[in-house]
Amino acid sequence: MSDTDDAAAAEYYDVWAEFYDAEHRELQDDIDFYVDLATDADGPVLEVGCGTGRVYLELLRAGVDADGIDLSAGMLDRLREKARDEQLDPSVRRADITDFDADREYALVVVPFRAFLHLTSLDKQRAALGRIREALAPDGRLAFNVFAPDFDVICEYGEEQEATFEHDGEEYRMVSETTFVDEIECITRERRRLFDEDDELVAERSFDLHVAFERELELLLEVTGFSEWTVYGGFDRDPLESTDQEMVWVVER
């Protein structure tokens, strides 16, 4: 991901911050997994890509000593607003996963909801994993999840998908389309358009993702110095046996 790609991703989430929670209201299946890891950790926790606090605020509610970083100022503003409503005290800041400075050692670093896939180059992936490893205590762990590439889904790329959600009492329609921008490097672009009840265009942005395979991620972890890891098929820690499952990684420093 180039600096231009970084800016595009940040701009996308800045624009989408107002609607992000409403769009992902039903996304709950990963929260208990990350909260359980965090409450079991013997030390502070860092969430990378904390966004509007969908997972991060649950860590605070569970009494976890947690910091968070995100590239989008708009998403962090939304997180802080939600925290004020609950009188929570977040420790979050704007930073890039590839070059952030850690003020302390973390027992656990989590990267939920496929945030790692926004890194679309090997240089960015290696830099991010290197920074994370440096931020971890000697016995610390990294946990993250990404989708398993499903060729039935990939065959539908280029077709528009529609979804609706409610925000502040109004129904919105989101039209999304995923295409390959680089088939050799397995980089996709998702374009999203949001329409209000009057079918007026409210927002239009796109972002790029890298389609990552299990063996590729294993090699990345190995070359960046991690010692061992387990990959599960979903947040219930089932064996990874199908592309219908989420790849959920727990990595030892």
Encode pLDDT of 65-117 as tens digits: 999 999 999 999 999 999 999 999 999 999 999 999 998 999 999 999 999 99
Predicted confidence at residue 2, as pLDDT, reads 52
Task: Give pLDDT tens digits for 198-216.
Answer: 999 999 999 999 999 999 9
Low-confidence ranges of the chain (pLDDT < 70): 1-5
State in words which class domain 3-148+212-252 has: alpha beta
Predicted confidence at residue 11, as pLDDT, reads 86
Inter-residue contact 51 to 20 (CB < 8 Å):
yes
Predicted confidence at residue 147, as pLDDT, reads 97
Predicted confidence at residue 4, as pLDDT, reads 55
Domain 3-148+212-252 identical in fold to domain 151-209? no
Which option is the CATH number for 151-209: 2.60.40, 3.20.20, 1.10.10, 2.20.130? 2.20.130
Per domain, the residue ranges of the chain are 3-148+212-252, 151-209
